[in-house]
């Protein structure tokens, strides 16, 4: 059986990531349907084929060499289905797209997410949040492929979740297919004003002009944000290779000149070690290493 049986395939293809690190994969698979995803996973298990699931590439740090396996991009699973205030969004839908789409349908609840370059699957996986509102806030249920390679749907109350984490981080072999949300009725004018104000704030406080993957570490507490800790240690502007700690927001690492995955990783370790030495705080990495 060939990979083309499960969707569109690219060979020796670039791996999408918001750090813009140059990395490739031997096979890049774009399944068209949830059945394609399930059938591929069964095939990969049977044939012992290495793979991993790619969302929007917004919270990952890839290696610098070619991945000798299959990366499965779910970007073609991008349907949005409405039933009054209940909205089902498939895993490949970008959350900023969904945020604007629900506003156009007279709903609200995702204004916080318009600046997050991630997919619904990725946001559910990591329980993405901003402005003290998380993905799980309006989530009702998740349909996913479990570790036994069965498609199941579970209510939110059956799934563990917390600050920047979820059941799916604890069970990384599960593959999120879609999420069902219940959004309140909104006002388009009010929602767009919120988005415009927050977009302006992001432009003023975040280094959006450079490739990055957003916040590198979780905040130890709301009263003690990571950016303030890193800033207090005088680490803003520190460089390793083409990677630099942003001078605008100290919890961002930016790619200023052809940074490698190794550059980013080394800078992360430098921050963690300095923070531990000076404050005895163990920073928790919010982004994920993709090793091969």
- Domain co-membership, 90 together with 159: yes
What's the pLDDT tens digit per position in 226-254? 999 999 999 999 999 999 999 999 999 99
Q: Residue 16 domain-assigned?
A: yes
215 is catalytic: yes
Q: Which residue has the tokens 């290696």?
A: 63
What's the pLDDT tens digit per position in 14-55? 999 999 999 999 999 999 999 999 999 999 999 999 999 999
- Domain co-membership, 63 together with 105: no
The answer for residues whose C-beta is within 8 angstroms of residue 226's C-beta and 6 or more apart is 215, 216, 217, 218, 219, 220, 250, 251, 283
Catalytic residue chosen out of the listed positions 58, 73, 111, 164: 164
232 is catalytic: no
- Domain co-membership, 102 together with 130: yes
- Residue ending a domain, among 190, 218, 246, is 190
**Tokens at residue 24, please?**
């490739």
Share of the chain above pLDDT 70, in %: 100
Confidence of residue 139 (pLDDT cuts 50, 70, 90): very high
- Residue ending a domain, among 46, 73, 100, is 73
Please tell me the pTM assigned to this model. 0.93
**pLDDT of 292 over the 90 cut:** no
**pLDDT of 209 over the 70 cut:** yes
**pLDDT of 168 over the 80 cut:** yes
pLDDT of residue 180: 98
- Domain co-membership, 172 together with 93: yes
- Domain co-membership, 171 together with 246: no
Q: Residue 148 domain-assigned?
A: yes
Give yes or no for a contact between 182 and 86, defined as CB atoms under 8 angstroms apart: yes
Identify the CA nearest to 288 among candidates 40, 53, 73: 53
- Domain co-membership, 173 together with 230: no
Structural domain of residue 221, as residue ranges?
207-290
Catalytic residue chosen out of the listed positions 91, 212, 215, 246: 215
Share of the chain above pLDDT 90, in %: 98
Q: Residue 202 domain-assigned?
A: no
Q: What is the mean pLDDT of residues 102-113?
A: 98
286 is catalytic: yes
Q: Residue 136 domain-assigned?
A: yes
Q: Residue 41 domain-assigned?
A: yes
**pLDDT of 291 over the 90 cut:** no
Q: Within a 10 A sphere around the Cβ of 112, how many other Cβ atoms? A: 21
- Residue 281: which CATH number? 3.90.78.10
Number of domains in the chain: 3
The chain-wide mean pLDDT, for the chain, equals 96
Catalytic residue chosen out of the listed positions 212, 246, 265, 286: 286
- Domain co-membership, 101 together with 173: yes
- Domain co-membership, 67 together with 89: no
**pLDDT of 1 over the 80 cut:** no
**pLDDT of 129 over the 70 cut:** yes
């Amino acid at each position: 059986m060939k990979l083309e049986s499960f969707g569109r395939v690219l060979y020796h293809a670039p791996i999408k990531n918001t750090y813009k690190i140059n990395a490739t994969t031997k096979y890049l698979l774009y399944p068209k349907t949830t059945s394609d995803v399930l059938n591929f996973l069964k095939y990969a298990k049977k044939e012992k084929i290495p793979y991993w699931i790619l969302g929007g590439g917004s919270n990952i740090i890839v290696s610098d060499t070619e991945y000798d396996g299959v990366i499965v991009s779910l970007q073609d699973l991008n349907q949005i289905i409405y039933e009054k205030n209940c909205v089902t969004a498939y895993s490949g839908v970008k959350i900023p797209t969904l945020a604007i789409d629900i506003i156009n349908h007279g709903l609200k609840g995702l204004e916080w997410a318009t600046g997050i370059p991630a997919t619904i699957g990725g946001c559910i996986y990591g329980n993405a949040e901003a402005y003290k509102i998380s993905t799980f806030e309006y989530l009702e249920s998740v349909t996913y492929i479990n570790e036994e390679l069965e498609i199941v749907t579970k209510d939110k109350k059956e799934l563990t979740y917390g600050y920047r984490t979820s059941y799916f981080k604890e069970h990384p072999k599960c593959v999120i297919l879609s999420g069902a949300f219940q959004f309140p009725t909104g006002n388009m004018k009010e929602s767009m004003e919120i988005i415009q104000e927050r977009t302006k704030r992001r432009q003023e406080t975040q280094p959006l002009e450079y490739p990055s993957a957003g916040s590198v570490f979780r905040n130890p507490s709301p009263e003690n944000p990571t950016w303030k800790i890193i800033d207090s240690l005088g680490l803003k502007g520190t460089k390793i290779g083409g990677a630099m700690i942003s001078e605008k927001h100290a919890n961002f690492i930016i790619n200023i000149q052809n940074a490698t995955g190794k550059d980013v990783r080394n800078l992360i370790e430098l921050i963690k070690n300095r923070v531990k030495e000076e404050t005895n705080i163990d920073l928790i990495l919010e982004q994920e290493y993709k090793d091969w």
